[in-house]
Amino acid sequence: MEIQEKTVLCFPHLFNTSCKKTNLTQSQLVLLHSLLSFISLITVALNLLVIISVSHFRQLQTPTNILLLSLAVPDLFVGLLLMPVEMIRNTTCWFLGELPCVLYNYVSFIITFASVVNMVLISVDRYIAICKPLYYTTRITERDVKLFVCLCWFFSVLYGGLIVSGDLNGPVHYYSCHGECLIIVDYIAGTVDVVVSFIIPVTIIIFLYIKVFVVAVSQARAMRSHITAASLQPSVNQSRKSELKAARTLGVLVLVFLICFCPYYCLSLIGKDALSSTPGAVVLCLFCFNSCVNPLIYALFYAWFKKTVKLIITLQIVKPGSCEARIL
């Protein structure tokens, strides 16, 4: 009787089937919610600054920056939706019912797949820019990149629907108790998800960046030599330096992405219950934290981002003709 009195259920009227509330104390919950809410707010604010910067200033609307804009959109939704909902799922009871849980799972698959595909597109962009510079400058246009971005989001929506299609047709009562929302897919769908959204993209990303790294090192050495300095025009030399700097910056972005995403998918390979454990919660937090780190990388490596943030905060962007401002 003493154990039953200390046990607090999510749905007291469903004594035999209700989940138990978290064992965290009130002060621990307040501290945890405050920390996660702060990280969520920072994630939304920083990615919103990236979206406004690239979409408002025309000088920044280059093929590479359009891909960064596309990546900032799922990162924005991570802070706006995934982080708050994960906070609810892991620290309190789920009172929203089965259908909102299924819809949340659907959106989470869309956001995750879109992030992965955008990373692949960024890797392809840097590969062509560094390894095939003449082709990049003559063939890769803003229109082409926007088309690929639209296709990325179209297939992300389609892919998310295929993964959770069984649940969208009718929620399945596979939860162990009332008051929880689990991300559960069947074995076949889970295996396909790991292969399509992890193994194949990561293999492509690593392969392309190894080639980019090799070529970038050789080009950097050539640019230091007196022969190359004498034979190249200053404008071409400066352009190559800019491309190499972008490759290094986006290489850091991809490396951080792999560090944050790999533990999540490695744990998901263990089994469907792995992500529901304590290590799973930590890995999920690392997974979401990547969306906060991405714009911080831009702030550290891109001078244009610092300039645009200052213009946005000081409301200079509301002035007529501000979109034509020289940022680079």
CA distances from 201 to 124, 132, 150, 195, 261 (A): 11, 21, 18, 8, 12
CA dist 174 and 276 (Å) reads 14
pTM (two decimals): 0.83
pLDDT band at 251 (very low <50, low <70, confident <90, very high): confident
Alpha helices, H only, 225-302:
226-231, 234-270, 278-301
Mapped onto helix, strand or coil, the DSSP state of residue 62 is coil
Q: What is the mean pLDDT of residues 166-170?
A: 56
Q: What is the pLDDT of residue 220?
A: 65
pLDDT in tens, 252-311: 888 888 888 888 777 766 654 545 555 656 777 787 888 888 888 887 888 889 899 999
Q: What is the pLDDT of residue 211?
A: 85
CA dist 96 and 172 (Å) reads 15
Q: What is the pLDDT of residue 270?
A: 65
Report the percentage of the chain scoring pLDDT > 70. 75
Q: What is the pLDDT of residue 85?
A: 86
Q: What is the pLDDT of residue 130?
A: 83
pLDDT band at 79 (very low <50, low <70, confident <90, very high): very high
Q: Which of 214 and 229 is assigned the larger pLDDT? A: 214
Q: What are phi and psi of 183, to 5 degrees?
A: -90, 100
Strand partners, 18: 178
Q: How far is CA 244 from the centre of its chain?
A: 23
Q: What are phi and psi of 178, to 5 degrees?
A: -80, 135
Q: Which of 286 and 66 is assigned the larger pLDDT? A: 66
Tokens for 77, please give them. Answer: 């939704």
CA distances from 142 to 156, 172, 193, 225, 243 (A): 21, 44, 30, 33, 17
Q: What is the pLDDT of residue 98?
A: 78
Q: What is the mean pLDDT of residues 203-226?
A: 77
pLDDT band at 3 (very low <50, low <70, confident <90, very high): very low
CA dist 1 and 217 (Å) reads 70
Q: What is the pLDDT of residue 286?
A: 80
Q: Which of 35 and 204 is assigned the larger pLDDT? A: 204
pLDDT band at 236 (very low <50, low <70, confident <90, very high): low
Closest CA to 54 of 33, 43, 70, 78: 70
Query: Could you give the domains of the chain?
Result: 37-319 (1.20.1070.10)
Q: Which amino acid is at 192?
A: V
Residue 147 has pLDDT above 70, yes or no: yes
CA dist 224 and 213 (Å) reads 17
Strand partners, 9: 20
